[in-house]
Amino acid sequence: MDLDSEIEYDYYPRFRVYKNGQIERLVTQTFVTPSLNPENGIVSKDAVYSPEKNLSLRIYLPHKAVAGEENKKKLPLLVYFHGGGFIMETAFSPVYHTFLTSVVSAADCIAVSVDYRRAPEHPIPIAYEDSWDAMEWIFRHVSGTGPEDWLNENADFGRVFIAGDSAGANIAHHMGMRAGKEHEISGMTLFHPFFLSKVGGVGYFEGIWDIASPKSDKGVVDPWINVVGSDLSGLGCRRVLVMVAGEDVLAREGWVYAAALKKSGWGGKVEVMETKGEDHVFHLRNPNSDMAREVMRRFAEFLKKQD
């Protein structure tokens, strides 16, 4: 057998990675188109944030904000980073289109869902670099003269929030750390964050990290994934909400992160919401469950709260 055709990592039924570096994604990748026809009262459209890399993001907005209603108000701005282990999913996947539509409806905000290049074709740290490019593009609208009218006219840059699930939560954390030096962030929500530590016991996710970061020789102590090993005091937001699921093998890392943040000298407030009896990103897999609705309610409350 040709060595290049041999499987190096088999994550059936999600994907396989071959020894020649190629990946076979086994889950059908569906692209949901944006729509100016209201869905649950929300409209959406895509915008290119990096022409040279051909990278886009999706903007979600309450239809009433573009319907010419009087007494128009600025809305909180949510920047969201999708999960998928740095390997699967996109900002345009059905699960994220549904989730962001529901968030914007529940929280009465404007949301930007960031797409970034995925591993292993584009290994770590490319996802972070792309995500920061998106952040910089978004903040070009602070003065109201950016390239996208929806952001110029509707986003309240005094109330900016960042969030993500799993790998996207990891990205959100790093964006929060970097933004602390350049931009003001009101709050951050991490859904079931993909962090690792020396404690181990999460072999599935350790394997995912190895695939996503083949250039790293640090394993689970790499500061991109073992964030509690770094100084957290410079996190650039005032409030943090960490979501954990009781049956999730990564739940411990969420609790450890919150505790480390409290001890770091960071001056903000961190809260943890645990959903017992549920597993990793359950709220995306089963968004109509009672527990998922409670997660959505708490997230919307977090976004609506005035500092």
Point out the catalytic residue in the list 56, 166, 186, 213.
166
The answer to whether the beta carbons of residues 164 and 172 sit under 8 Å apart is yes
Strands 15-18 and 23-25: antiparallel
Nearest to 106 by CA among 293, 307, 306: 293
3-state SS, residue 78? strand
3-state SS, residue 149? helix
- Return d(Cα 172, Cα 103) in angstroms, integer: 17
The yes-or-no answer on residue 248 being catalytic is: yes
String of DSSP letters for 80-135: EE--STTTS--TTSHHHHHHHHHHHHHHT-EEEEE----TTTS-TTHHHHHHHHHH
The yes-or-no answer on residue 183 being catalytic is: no
Whole-angstrom distance between the N-terminal and C-terminal Cα of the chain? 62
- Size of the chain, expressed as the number of residues it contains: 307
CB atoms within 10 A of CB 67: 10
The yes-or-no answer on residue 63 being catalytic is: no
What's the DSSP call for residue 253? H
Which neighbouring-strand residues pair with 111?
A: 60, 78
Q: Which residues carry out catalysis?
A: 166, 248, 280
